[in-house]
Amino acid sequence: MSRSTEVFIIGGGPAGLSAAHVAARLGAQTLLVDDSARVGGQLIKQTHRFFGSSNRDAGIRGITIADKLQQDIKDVADRLTVLENTAAVGFYHNKEAGILSQNAYERVTYQSAIVCTGATENSLAFENNDLPGIYGAGGVQTLMNVHGIRPGQKILMIGSGNIGLIVSYQLIQAGVEVVGLVEGMPTIGGYLVHASKIRRLGVPIYTSHTILKALGSDGVEGAVLCRVDDKFRPVPNTEFEIKCDCICLAVGLTPLIDLFQQAHCRMVHVGELGGLVPLHDSSMRTTNPDIFVAGDASGIEEATTAILAGRIAGARAYESVHGKSAEADTIVAEAREELRTLRSGSTGERIRWGRERVLKEVGEC
């Protein structure tokens, strides 16, 4: 079997759904594939209210934003096909890709592709880190907020970025005791309002600490923590035990980039963006002119900026099929301006550095 489409989008998270909506609304025949049972990406488990601009979804829960994006794409259903439970498994020459649904393999020929594969969770090296009961934070959110299953009764959180802080709060909402939150850096990584929110519900925050090992034989029964110095080396004689039946790792994300490498996109390592990312210009076009990128696959950020980058990629992918469009230009200009304001200020500093490095490499900056 084979299919043909003008714009081919891989990944139905906030970036992919926004790109699909824009490309299809402008007039491109669009195909979106997602390997999960329901599009929405990570938004379908984000029960908290989003930060950002009230012009664009701030103050609204992530699950509501997912509903809105799913509604948006229904409005363009005549030009957009969505295949759930379908994974993109490879790019071939001549603008061809392979997709795999539950039982069938198909080839897709496209004119422009937008890859919005998101990211994978990082792990952490410590003794016994393969015991049952040790989860990634995304896995915990899926269990809890999608399937309604508590991962345990007493959980230890590792990592004080926004994901660690927010998932700790959601665990408390689900009735799980969070016995502590551990952070190697001397200061909290995520937004301090999120930290205060869990602290005042009684969660101790151990900055300048690390986990040395998980305790237990058939499952997690506790953990050994210790202080670290300014070079992240354990400080002798500061070890202590903490009881828990679950350990949750929220130690960062890495862009999911296999498909770009396969499509011969030039890659660059930018620490501020989470590792290797495909080089891309401000239109989100990679060094393979037929392939665009948006969302966490272009650098770890968050859903609001993924939506905006998705809109840019959707508009430019439409143009690369149908030619220049004033409407596409307007969408791009608006999205760029919103991205600029969201990334301004001190919390956006690392992202700005990372993004500038990428644009410098492609000669735009």
| CA distance to 119, 161, 163, 272, per residue, from 347 (Å) | 21, 12, 15, 12
Which of 348, 350, 352, 356 contacts other proteins by CB under 8 A?
348
Residues in the interface with other proteins (CB under 8 A) total 40
- Which residues within the stretch 324-343 sit at the binding site for other proteins (CB under 8 A)? 341-343
Residue 192 interacts with other proteins (CB under 8 A): yes or no? yes
- Which residues within the stretch 30-49 sit at the binding site for other proteins (CB under 8 A)? 48-49
Contacts 24+ apart (CB under 8 A), 100-107: 104/1, 105/1, 106/1, 106/2, 106/3, 107/1, 107/2, 107/3
Q: Write out the two tokens for 277.
A: 């990312």
Contacts 24+ apart (CB under 8 A), 83-88: 83/31, 83/32, 83/33, 83/34, 84/12, 84/34, 84/36, 84/37, 84/38, 84/39, 85/34, 85/35, 85/36, 85/37, 86/33, 86/34, 86/35, 87/33, 87/35, 88/10, 88/33, 88/35, 88/115, 88/259
Nearer to other proteins, 28 or 182 (CB): 182
Of the candidates 296, 267, 302, 298, the residue with the CA atom closest to the CA atom of residue 282: 298
| Candidate ranges 9-17, 69-77, 108-116, 195-203; the one touching other proteins (CB under 8 A) | 195-203
Residue 352 interacts with other proteins (CB under 8 A): yes or no? no
Residue 194 interacts with other proteins (CB under 8 A): yes or no? yes
Nearer to other proteins, 20 or 171 (CB): 171
In the complex, the smallest distance separating the C-beta of residue 279 from other proteins, rounded to whole angstroms, is: 26
In the complex, the smallest distance separating the C-beta of residue 214 from other proteins, rounded to whole angstroms, is: 24
Nearer to other proteins, 54 or 103 (CB): 54
Beta strand pairing status for 275-278 and 154-158?
unpaired
Nearer to other proteins, 194 or 355 (CB): 194
159: alpha, beta or left? (left if phi > 0; alpha if psi -120 to 50): left
> What character string, x for contact with other proteins (CB under 8 A) and - otherwise, covers 65-104?
----------------------------------------
Residue 53 interacts with other proteins (CB under 8 A): yes or no? yes
In the complex, the smallest distance separating the C-beta of residue 67 from other proteins, rounded to whole angstroms, is: 12
Residue 200 interacts with other proteins (CB under 8 A): yes or no? yes
Query: Which positions touch other proteins (CB under 8 A)?
Result: 48-54, 58-61, 64, 172-173, 186-188, 191-203, 205, 207, 341-348
